[in-house]
Chains A and B, each alone.
Chain A
């Protein structure tokens, strides 16, 4: 039975997420990305992430991602500050983690990876 990253509440992603075959898109601060780019708010030590973290919310233990390139690039066009970031994509399989659409924004998804999965090295840059 695969495990989520240490600290993730029991059954939280299992209850709302699904194992999927697909591609996830993530906004990263650096190119190439670092481990911090794929660290959730709850797991991060960065003040910016910690202050916005609600550990009682399952989403805080996962990563904000998009599931289409169009949605990711749309977000980047919409927000000038996202222009400083880099969009990376990674193909994921059921054995890698769980994905759920979360929040009222229908393009927003949360991805909870299993603790043995390395999204950093798997990710490739999306050309803009």
Chain B
């Protein structure tokens, strides 16, 4: 519990801790506010001992407390992205020892992700920024810390988010030529630790629209309405495909139905091809913020579904000439000496190994989605090939 490299202090001179606003209690206050000096702190009971209690305490604003009470942000969220203290008290709330922390050192002790103050609110965002933003993107990767991340990673993700927002939310009436210059969104202060980029609702340059002949007739209000509908469509598609991807591979017809969203998101999802571990998307809708979490497994399935949208369904025959156990792929060569890389789910790869099919020299008929390429073609399949 106590960080071994941070000093544990006993000279508490900030007075008695008096629970003021008790937000949660179990045989006594467990989440409450207290005023220390002139600052409101949120206290979260982290542990109880025989004759003591240990709290995480962090400064909060009244606005943040209201968001918490109304189920707009998680308990974790109100304690995140700020300095905090680990405080041990006796049963009379007299402080016996305390330790100062930064977000990185207290993060592991915070309450679980997504938990609101009450069960009735469901899963909620883990930051105030996500709770208040129209659309939020939270990238989690080992290369990101609260102090720094590689510039290339930061720029790449900012560019990808920018491109996604423009392609997903740009009203069709502004899609021609340079008319998209009248469309923009505001981003809030990005947060490090994990990279959090949140944006407000799209806005339109009404003056610019009026001064430009082809767009003179367009009204901000109707453009905003259209952008909102596009945002709803994007979210709906992402929710559907991500939930399906959580359960398994996405059927091709479903991928086709959601092809736009899959194409828009493909550069930002975590996958085996990048070092992102998780992407958390939030969308403000009907007075609440919805949360969607995409890990690498889901991300890879979304990418495969997106690849399948453009591919061509066919059967090919060939002999295994090379196997890549680490990537779970293999290469076959047909009678014309043309090579094809074969991609497949791990479960099928493992089944082929068990069945003795995964060996050099094995002839197979494979049915899947095929892409013609310059040097080596590619086929993705998700059912056992037929041995020949």
Residues of A participating in the B interface, judged by any CB pair closer than 8 Å: 27, 41, 47-49, 51-52, 64, 68, 70-71, 73-75, 77-82, 103-108
Contacts and interface: CB of A to CB of B under 8 A. Distances in A.
The DSSP consensus for interface residues of chain B is: mixed
A73 B24 contact: no
Nearest to A72: B119
Contacts of B28: 52, 64
B25 A78 contact: no
B119 A64 contact: no
Interface string B283-320: 00000000000000000000000000000000000000
Contacts of A107: 24, 118-119
A19 to B, nearest CB: 23
Interface in B106-155: 111-112, 115, 117-120
B117 to A, nearest CB: 8
B92 interface: yes
Contacts of A68: 119
**Which residue, of A74, A77, A80, A105, has the highest number of chain B Cβ atoms within 10 A?**
A105
A105 B25 contact: yes
A27 B115 CA distance: 19
A82 B26 contact: yes
A108 B26 CA distance: 8
A51 B91 contact: yes
B73 to A, nearest CB: 14
Given A47-B51, A48-B51, A80-B47, A106 B26 contact: no
Given A52-B91, A70-B119, A107-B119, A78 B51 contact: no
Given A41-B27, A52-B28, A105-B22, A81 B48 contact: yes
Interface of B: 21-28, 30, 45-48, 50-51, 75, 91-92, 111-112, 115, 117-120
Contacts of A47: 51, 91
B112 A27 contact: no
Contact of B118 (A51, A52, A73, A74): A74
22 contacts: A47-B51, A48-B50, A48-B51, A49-B27, A64-B26, A64-B27, A68-B119, A70-B119, A74-B115, A77-B112, A78-B111, A78-B115, A80-B46, A81-B46, A81-B47, A82-B26, A103-B25, A104-B22, A105-B117, A105-B118, A108-B24, A108-B26
A73 B51 contact: no
A105 B24 contact: yes
Contacts of B120: 70
Given A49-B27, A104-B22, A105-B24, 5 more contacts: A52-B27, A64-B25, A68-B119, A79-B111, A81-B45
A79 B118 contact: no
B22 A103 contact: yes
Contacts of B25: 64, 103, 105, 108
Contacts of A77: 112, 115
Contacts of B26: 27, 64, 75, 79, 82, 108
A23 to B, nearest CB: 15
A73 B24 CA distance: 14
A71 B25 CA distance: 12
Contacts of A52: 27-28, 91
Contacts of A79: 26, 30, 45, 111
A77 to B, nearest CB: 6
A79 B75 CA distance: 11
Contacts of A105: 22-25, 117-118
B91 A104 contact: no
A51 B48 CA distance: 14
A106 B24 CA distance: 8
A64 B30 CA distance: 12
Given A27-B26, A78-B75, A82-B26, A48 B115 contact: no
B144 to A, nearest CB: 26
Nearest to B24: A105
A98 B113 CA distance: 35
